[in-house]
Structure 1
Amino acid sequence: MKLRSLGGLLALTITLFTLSACSSSDKSGTSPSPVAPESPDAQTIQLGDRTYLLALPDNFSQSKAYKLLLAFHGSGGDSAGMRSLSRFERHSSDYIVAYPKSKEVEWNEGCDCNIAHRKGADDLGFIEQIIADIGQRYTIQEGEVYAAGFSQGALFAQNVACNLGHKVKAIAGVAAPMSRQLALSCAMQKPVSIMMVHGKADGVLPYQGSTHANFGLLSSPDAIARLAALNFSLPNPMLKNLGPNVDLIHYSNGKQKAQLVSIKGGAHTWQFAGFDTTTRILAFFGALEQPELPEHSQLIEVEGQKFHVRALGLSNDGPAIVLLPGFNYNYSADSAWFALLQPYLARHYRVYSMDRLGNGFSDASEEVSFGRVAQDLNGILNALNEKELIVVAFSNASISASQFYQHHHADINLRGMLWIDPDIPLPNSLALYKGYPADWYLANLDALLPHLAAGNWTERTWQKLVVEREEVAALLPEQSAALMDWNFFDVLSQQRLLVGHQQTRAREIAGYSADLDAYAALPLPASVPVSVIDSDFEEQDIQNNPDNAKALRLWQQEGSAWSKQLAEFSGGQYISLEQADHMVMFQHPEVIQQAIDWLVAQGQ
Structure 2
Amino acid sequence: MPVGTQVKLGTRSYLLALPKDFQSERTYKLLLVFHGSGGDSAGMQQLAAFETLSSDYIVAYPQSEQVEWNEGCDCNIAHRLGADDLGFVDQVIADIALRYRLMPGEVYAAGFSQGALFSQNLACNRSEVFKAVAVVAAPMSVQLAASCKPTQPVSIMMAMGKQDNVLPYNGYDHANFGLISAEAAIALFARLNKSPALPIRKTLAEGQVELTAYSNGAQKAELYAITQGGHFWSFKAFDSSKEILSFFAGLTEPTLPVGSARVRVEQQAFHVRSMGQQHNGPAIILMAGPNTNYHSDSAWFALLQPLLAKHHRVHVIDRLSNGWSDSIETPSYRRFAHDLAAVLQQLQEQQVILVAFSSASISARLFYEDYANAFDIKAMLWIDPDIPLPHSLSLYKGYPADWYQANLPALLPHLANGGWTERTLAKLQLEREQVQQLVPAQYQSLMDWSYFDLASQQRLLTGHQQGRAREIASYAADLDAYAQLAWLTAIPVSVIDTDFEKADIAADPENAESLLLWLQEGSEWSRLQAELSHGQYIALQDADHLLMFQQPEQIKRALDTLLQQLQLP
Instruction: Give the TM-score range, shorter chain.
Output: over 0.9
Residue 535 of structure 2 corresponds to residue 600 of structure 1 = no
Task: Give the equivalent residue in structure 2 for 1:30.
Answer: none
Q: Distance in 2 between matches of 1:496 and 1:465?
A: 9
1:306-455 pair list within 5 angstroms: 306-455=269-418
**CA separation in 1, counterparts of 2:537 and 2:414?**
43
Alignment correspondent of 2:459: 496
Identify which of 469, 482, 489 aligns with 1:526. 489
1:46-99, CA deviations, whole angstroms, 9 ceiling, x for partnerless residues? 222222111111111122111111111111111121111111000000111111
Cα deviation, residue 457, structure 1: 2.0
Secondary structure of the 1:75 match is coil
Superposition deviation, residue 551 in structure 1: 1.7
1:389-424 Cα offsets, whole Å, 9 max, x none, are: 110100010111111112212222212111011111
Question: In structure 2, how many angstroms separate the alpha carbons of the residues matched to 1:159 and 1:305?
Answer: 35
What code does the residue aligned with 1:424 have? I
Instruction: Report % sequence identity.
Output: 60
Q: Report the AA paired with residue 36 of structure 2.
A: G
Name the Cα RMSD after superposition.
1.6
2:517 matched to 1:554? yes
Distance 2:404 2:37 in 1: 59
Q: Distance in 1 between matches of 2:171 and 2:310?
A: 41
What letter corresponds to residue 111 of structure 1 in structure 2? C
* Residue 274 (structure 1) aligned to one of 225, 237, 245: 237
CA distance in 2, matches of 1:507, 1:135: 41
State the distance in 1 between where 2:448 and 2:203 align.
Answer: 14
Counterpart residue identity of residue 290, structure 1? E
- From 118, 131, 134, the equivalent of 1:172 is 134
Per the TM alignment, residue 482 of structure 1 is displaced from its structure 2 partner at its CA by 2.2
Structure-2 separation of matches of 1:514 and 1:252: 33
2:182 equivalent in structure 1? 220
CA contact (8 A) 2:330 2:471 kept: no
Of residues 548, 553, 558, the one that matches 1:590 is 553
Query: What is the identity, as a one-letter code, of the residue corresponding to 2:86?
Result: L
Please give the alpha-carbon distance, in whole angstroms, between the structure 2 residues aligned to 1:62 and 1:321.
54
- 1:161-197 alpha-carbon deviations (Å, 9 max, x no partner): 1112222111001111111111001111222110001
Q: Which position in structure 1 is the counterpart of 2:419? A: 456
Q: In the alignment, residue 221 of structure 2 is paired with which amino acid?
A: A
Give 1:305 deviation, angstroms.
2.3
1:135 to 51, 74, 97: 97
What amino acid is aligned across from residue 598 of structure 1 in structure 2?
T
Tell me, which stretches of 5 or more residues in structure 1 are unaligned?
1-34
Cα drift, residue 249 of structure 1:
1.2
Q: For residue 184 of structure 1, what is the aligned residue in structure 2?
A: 146
Aligned counterparts of 1:124 and 1:600: Cα–Cα separation in 2: 67
* Letter of the structure 2 residue corresponding to residue 372 of structure 1: R
- Which residue among 203, 207, 220 is the counterpart of 1:241? 203
**Equivalent residues of 1:173, 1:196 under 8 A apart:** yes
Relative to the length of structure 1, the TM-score reads 0.91
CA deviations on 1:449-494 (whole Å, 9 max, x unpaired) are 3333333222222211111111112211222222222332222222
Superposition pairs of residues 252-267 of structure 1, within 5 angstroms: 252-267=215-230
> How many matched pairs?
566
| CA distance, structure 2, for counterparts of residue 56 and residue 304 of structure 1 | 32
Number of the residue aligned with 1:199: 161
Indicate conservation of the 8 Å contact 2:379/2:562, yes or no.
yes
Distance 1:449 1:43 in 2: 50
Which residue does 1:58 correspond to in 2?
Answer: 20
Q: For 1:162, what is the secondary structure of its paired residue?
A: helix
2 CA distance for matches of 1:82 and 1:487? 40
Equivalent residues of 1:340, 1:483 under 8 A apart: yes
Contact 2:108–2:130 under 8 Å retained in 1: yes
| Segment drifting more, 68-77 vs 431-440 | 431-440
Give the residue type in structure 2 aligned to 1:526.
T
8 Å contact from structure 2 (residues 274, 315) kept in 1: yes
Question: 2 CA distance for matches of 1:596 and 1:470?
Answer: 28
Q: Quick check: 2:494–2:530 contact (8 Å CA) kept in 1?
A: yes
Question: Separation in 1 of the partners of 2:109 and 2:118?
Answer: 10
Report the 3-state secondary structure (helix = DSSP H, G, I; strand = E; otherwise coil) of the residue aligned with 2:31: strand
Other structure's SS at 1:371 match:
helix
1:387–1:412 CA contact under 8 A, matched in 2: yes
Aligned to 2:543: 580
Cα distance, 1:117 vs structure 2: 1.4
The Cα shift of 1:387 comes to 0.7
Q: For structure 2, which runs of at least 5 residues remain unmatched after alignment?
A: none
> What is the match of residue 74 of structure 1?
36
Counterpart Cα distance in 1 of 2:285 and 2:24: 52
Q: Provide Cα deviations, 1:283-340, integer angstroms capped at 9, x if missing partner.
A: 1111112222222222222243222212122122211111111111111211121122
Normalized against structure 2, the TM-score is what? Answer: 0.96
Give 3-state SS (helix, strand or coil) of 1:411's partner: coil
Paired with 2:542 and 2:321, the residues of 1 have a C-alpha distance of 34
Separation in 2, partners of 1:451, 1:184: 30
- Give the letter aligned to residue 421 of structure 1: D
Q: Deviations over 1:24-57 (max 9, x none)?
A: xxxxxxxxxxx7xxxx411111222222111111
Aligned residue in 1 for 2:121: 159
Q: Is the 8 A contact 1:239 1:487 kept in 2?
A: no
Equivalent residue of 2:495, what SS? strand
- Amino acid of the residue matched to residue 243 of structure 1? A
Q: Which of 512, 525, 538 in structure 1 is aligned with 2:501?
A: 538
Residue 366 of structure 2: SS of its match in structure 1?
helix
Worse overlay, 188-197 or 448-457: 448-457
Amino acid paired to 1:74: G
Give me the whole-angstrom Cα distance separating, in 2, the residues matched to 1:454 and 1:42.
45
Residues 524 and 566, structure 1, Cα contact 8 Å, conserved in 2: yes
Q: Deviations over 1:329-376 (max 9, x none)?
A: 111211121122222222221111111122222223222221221111
- Aligned with 2:254: secondary structure? coil
Q: Is 1:110 aligned to residue 72 of structure 2?
A: yes
| Other-structure match for 1:291 | 254
Q: What pairs with 1:89-100 in structure 2 (closer than 5 Å)? A: 89-100=51-62
| 1:228-270, Cα deviation, whole Å (9 max, x unpaired) | 1122222222222333222211112221111111111111111
In 1, distance between residues paired with 2:447 and 2:20? 49
In 2, Cα distance between the equivalents of 1:474 and 1:134?
Answer: 60
Q: Which residue of 2 aligns with 1:477?
A: 440
Is 2:524 the partner of 1:565? no
Mapped partners of 2:122, 2:18: distance in 1: 23
Structure 1 counterpart of 2:168, which letter?
Answer: P
Q: In the alignment, what sits opposite 1:19?
A: none
Kept after mapping to 1: 8 A contact 2:33/2:110:
yes
Match of 1:467 in 2: 430
